[in-house]
A and B are shown apart, each in its own frame.
Chain A
Amino acid sequence: MKLVDVMSAAGLSGYAIVAMVLFMAAFLMIVIRTFAPGSRPQHSAAAQLPFSDDASGPAPRARE
């Protein structure tokens, strides 16, 4: 018996929907956690990271 026979007989067509539901559940957990109170200080600090490398100073000014 081939794998394709086993899979066809297993009635798995709807399992993509199960995977979709699991994905949505995992995603909702991240949403809840992200927007839960108490994380603002961490996120504010993280948002500043692009500005922590300015040791080389600002760029030369444009001519105009």
Chain B
Amino acid sequence: MSAHVDTFSYDDAIVRKFLWATFIWGLVGFLVGLLIALQLANPAFNLGLEWFSFGRLRPLHTNAVIFAFAGNAIFTGIYYSSQRLLKTRMFSDALSNFHFWGWQAIIVAAALTLPFGFTQAKEYAELEWPIDIAIAVVWVAFAVNFFGTLARRRERHIYVALWFYIASIVTVAILHIFNNLSLPVAPLKSYSIYAGVQDAFMQWWYGHNAVAFFLTTPFLGLMYYFMPKAADKPVFSYKLSILHFWTLVFLYIWAGPHHLHYTALPDWASTLGMLFSVMLWMPSWGGMVNGLLTLRGAWNKVAEDPILKFMVVAVTAYGMSTFEGPMLSVKTVSSLAHYTDWIIAHVHTGALGWNGFLTFGMIYWLAPRLFQAPLHSKKLAEMHFWIATFGILLYVAAIYSAGITQGLMWRAFDETGRLAYPDFVETVMKLMPMYWVRVAGGTLYITGMLIFGYNILMTWRARPATYEVPVISAPPLAPAHPEPAAPAGEGLWARFTAARFHRRWEGLPLTFTVLTALAVIVASLAEIIPTFLIKENVPTIASVKPYTPLELAGRDLYIREGCFNCHSQMVRPLRHETERWGEYSKPGESVYDHPFLWGSRRIGPDLAREGGKYPDLWHVRHFQDPRSVTQNSIMPTYTHLGRRTIDFAGIQGRVDAMAMLGVPYGDAVTRAPELAREQAQQIAAGIAAAGGPADLADKEVTALIAYLQRLGKDIRSAPATASAPAPAPGGAP
């Protein structure tokens, strides 16, 4: 062994930066969440301003909590633990700072675009194409920095936390790139290159795995590092952690289609997603048990230490939400829970409990070390813990109740065989008390966050004038890979069990990364390719035609206003659905939908069969004042649609883009604005003749009405449900 010893120091300045960003963006994300919770309890909280309406702020809330709060928390923990586990400074301080400032700039860009309606309409992937490119660039910089650090390490063995980081970095890159492939039509407007079923499939392949590889695997890495540190005990079972890692990598990537049960997704894909989701329960609980048993013999510390309290609740919340996830993936359970608040409660158990509490525990542990001062107040940390825990309990108890209540009301029939609650708004009003309890729970959680911020701020204020930078000594990594001799044994089995192949992988980060990426890519392709390239998965319907230019413009307004956050466009083949909404949705109905707009939540009614249900004038009045036509509606007002004019000049570019994506637009590709004006004048004349406003021929509300009146009409005009061969995805039919 070489006698030479390197000396170096860790870059904790970057960790401190990410720590502050975690707090600031977390507070912003939670406050926006509180505002939209208030908007559901009382629509007056939409303030009558288009930028503050639920549809525009909901994606800001989800993006802020996932990518700003949880994202910065992940980076805080990764930058701290990776340097120490690998016994080296980060590969490049410049890349670290580029990563930090680039990520914050992306968050600011999200905050500046989402309230203005710039969105791709894909959940957790709403940001438009220039920001998507920026995310890819910053993520690559992070990856280069991380893998460069791995390459410069002074510790041969790669600890299990780092495997979780590797899997997260590689998989998030793959998911982000492929789900966001789109055709730009304006500086902040694009159309997904995928349509309908394929787009839905890609979106939930991404959406579920964003939860898996952004909110789960990196946090598991943090758990495997910070929980042993906080408990001052090694992880209960390192073997179990290996199993935990590989099981998640092998299984998670397949599970996405469970978000689309009973939709127009092919049944085989839906079943495959369900099977893998159910299998995920075992490793998830293995991980939870591994985390909790790390505290064996140290439970007395939990009673005294708020850090361990946060971590215990975090791991328990992980266990609860990863039990519930597989349960929700079972088709019969999904048929009740899908589109209801049950899913929102499930998500918040994970986000507030698992991600939030692990972050708080980690930062309480880190703050004294990073600021080189005692934690300002252990009592305040205890207070934060109990207030936030009570807040979570209030939140999830109320919203679980709301979800189950709504699901049961939707499917209830009376003794005559008719829907017991045919008026949708009746099922919404039933939830109001629970929505107010949610507001109370969220307020408590934010109160805890403010106490947390004060405690960390006061700890920071007690810091020394100049941070001490410890000099670390460690021998460089030996070029050879000395390992103890393999145990004696003969035969294939003995060679296999003693082969030490996994031990070798753990010392070969490139091989390890390639194997992980391979597992993710092969699984993804096995699911995705048949959906894209086998015709019978998406049979087309001859009567389904492209949207007219005006309807397309209206569809873009539907996207801009975030209507898909509250309204689904997917009637499932369940009796209570077809009784309420009409004929169930077919895959061939959405072959021209770039992007798909099936939605994932019904705060308002499903709109798949909305066309012709109400007169145009009803829609005008509904947008002006929803409660004037539907008493107790909680929809925001959209008076600006009656003031703002349609961008007729821009319609041609949008039609051309759709044509490039394979939508057969015929002569509309040369005279889209003219066709749009003609249709708008017809609709406006009809509204005026019915006694409505006389000046709507160039107003946005007319385009949106044109779109809504089209929904579901093509399927009604079909002579039969005969199928024809599907067009190539994204290609000419």
Contact = CB atoms under 8 A, between A and B. Distances in A.
Interface of A: 2-5, 7-8, 12-13, 15-17, 19-20, 23-24, 26-27, 30-39, 41-53, 55-56, 59-64
Contacts of B502: 30, 33-34
Contact of B535 (A4, A34, A39, A48): A4
B57 to A, nearest CB: 38
A5 B269 CA distance: 20
B472 to A, nearest CB: 5
B103 to A, nearest CB: 25
Contacts of A23: 250-251, 519, 522-523
Interface string B496-529: 1111111100100000000000010011001101
Contacts of B160: 46
B497 A50 contact: no
B239 A39 contact: yes
Contacts of B369: 56, 59
10 contacts: A8-B536, A15-B530, A16-B268, A33-B499, A39-B239, A43-B239, A44-B238, A50-B81, A55-B473, A64-B377
A15 to B, nearest CB: 7
Contacts of A15: 526, 530
B535 to A, nearest CB: 4
Contacts, number: 152
A4 to B, nearest CB: 5
Nearest to B275: A20
Contacts of B378: 62-64
A60 B374 contact: yes
Contact of B530 (A13, A20, A37, A46): A13
Given A61-B374, A63-B376, A50 B228 contact: yes
A30 B242 contact: yes
Interface in B713-733: 726, 728-729, 731
A52 B536 CA distance: 57
A4 B533 contact: yes
A2 B729 CA distance: 11
Nearest to A7: B533
Contacts of B487: 38
Contacts of B484: 41-42
Given A46-B159, A50-B159, A26 B250 contact: yes
A3 B473 CA distance: 58
Nearest 4 CB-CB pairings of A with B: A36-B497, A19-B526, A53-B84, A7-B533
Contacts of B519: 23, 26
A59 B234 contact: no
A5 B534 CA distance: 8
Given A2-B728, A30-B242, 18 more contacts: A7-B530, A7-B533, A16-B268, A19-B526, A23-B250, A30-B502, A34-B242, A36-B496, A36-B497, A43-B242, A46-B157, A50-B225, A55-B472, A59-B365, A61-B374, A62-B368, A62-B375, A62-B381
B682 to A, nearest CB: 38
Contacts of A53: 84-85, 87, 472
Contact of A8 (B496, B534, B729): B534
A52 B155 contact: yes
Contacts of B81: 50
A35 B238 contact: no
A24 B526 CA distance: 14
| Interface-centre pick from A26, A44, A53 (highest chain B CB count, 10 A) | A53
